[in-house]
Structure 1
Amino acid sequence: MSAQNPAVTARVALVTCAELPHLDEDESVPIAPLAARGIAAEPAVWNDRSVDWDVYDLAIIRSTWDYTDHHAEFVAWAETVPRLANPADVVRWNSDKTYLRDLAAAGVPVVPTIWIEPDSTLTLPNDGRYVVKPAISAGSRNTGLYDMADASQRALAAGLATQLLAEGRTVMVQPYLEAVDTAGETAVLFVGGHYSHAIRKGALLDGPADEVGLYKVEDIRPRTASDSELHAAQLALAAVPGGAERLLYARVDLIPGPDGHPVLLELELTEPSLFLRYDEGAAERFADAVAAYLKR
């Protein structure tokens, strides 16, 4: 067997959704580096009942971006997969953004959030620009930016929130961090517990919620994470229940706050894009991390 074609020693599922049966473009990038390490990787749809998850040495959640419409089913599925990355208890905790409460309580600098539960009275701020979205969401779906001083926009915000609450969903109301319009958002990527690379994401929201497919197209560029961003990312990872050492991958999304210091927008441990195409060597680092994970 040549060095270019080593014997297959492990079989891995790259878990996706029915809308992307062959994976998102970024998620197929590590297949070749994995093969070079003797790891055969193939896409598998999470809710395809014909898939036998027992045949895989590891199932890695990737582009399962429809899970927000089937959250209970998705979490239940995760708990049935014998070898899953990230682990099922992490998926349960992280797939509902109420995890931000835990991180804030642990001292992580988190975007201030007003939480509105389905059985509570809807009260919105009277001034300022705010983002309204459900606690279980992905890809900026059901998410909008509203100027609360404008009566028509405030009414639209109330309409979105009322609709979500009627569906039994927890609503999040967060101040819009203006720095995203200039500095953008930094996503800090970790694989195998180590910093891998970072990217810059441009602002996504420009007004009230509108129809979105699986996700909004993003403006992505390479970026080097600053020391303060790395510090904030490490603080977030240190607060993960059960310990961050169990994670195969993590993405920490940060935006400068009003004082310029980074604050956490999201800690993505379930199905984040890892943007492996945007950094030379990132796919290889991911493949190395998978190989190490398989040896645990």
Structure 2
Amino acid sequence: MRLGLQVSWFSWPGAPGSIGPTFGRIARDAEEAGLSSLWVMDHWFQIRGVGPAELDMLEAYTTLGYAAGLTSRIELGALVSGVTYRHPGLLAKTVTTLDVLSGGRAWLGIGAAWNEEEHRGLGVPFPPLKERFERLEETLRIVGQMWAQDDAPFSGRHYTLQRTLNSPPPIRRPHPPILIGGMGEERTFRLVARYGDACNLFDVGPDRVRAKLAVLAQRCAETGRDPREVRNTVLSRVTLSRTGGERAASGETTQSVGEAVDRLGALAEAGVDDVILGMANPEQREVYELVADLVRQAAPLHRAGR
């Protein structure tokens, strides 16, 4: 099992001046600990469930480009970009640029978008859900065409591109992997089956994750695709301490490495390949000794059916 890290909080003491140095240390420490990937949210305002909208939030791809310059191995992505945030051709170009400058380490994480508040706040159109899914599928088609180095015109219901030129092409072959986020069994899972290299689910517990992945496998079968071709990823939460059971500053109860491994093992048995971790304390450098131990112990875990 591969482990990644998502950073969703930037309001550290001394912000905004402390944000660059602190995030840079997190990127380097995550890579040194052996984490396979580093992710940031793609939002303009802080989201409910994490904090008030007024808290610090960085633009995703600028942030990932900064991380790329400070690291050499860890993979980089947005978890996930709302389809409404960028024109499809510009999104393809942005992720391509990240891939080229990072030496082939970029992911495209994408979804149908949900945060109406930040759209209205910054004057970005927020169409109804049905239209957002239509735009999502067209975006996936456009990105695929551009990454195939096919510069023919594209004409869809929502987007018209006269020339889908993308030079230079991505370094990663055949293209940066496409991760589609969402729990929807009809529209989202059908798009994963048709266009995705990976899905991303919330950690709703091993039993519910297993049930969701069974539906995804069915959607793959309906399109004639082997479900083993899709990497099953889950966004989870862990705050580590040496003994576990402590009360972190965030109010969360910490887990020991052994407790976290047991939890990851249950997710692997449910069919999960990768777990992307959110931590309450990613800025604390001492925690990465525990993260490195967790990475080592999680590595032998394998998705059921592999």
TM superposition score normalised by structure 1: 0.30
Q: Choose between structure 1 and 2: higher helix proportion.
A: 2
Q: Choose between structure 1 and 2: higher strand proportion.
A: 1
TM superposition score normalised by structure 2: 0.30
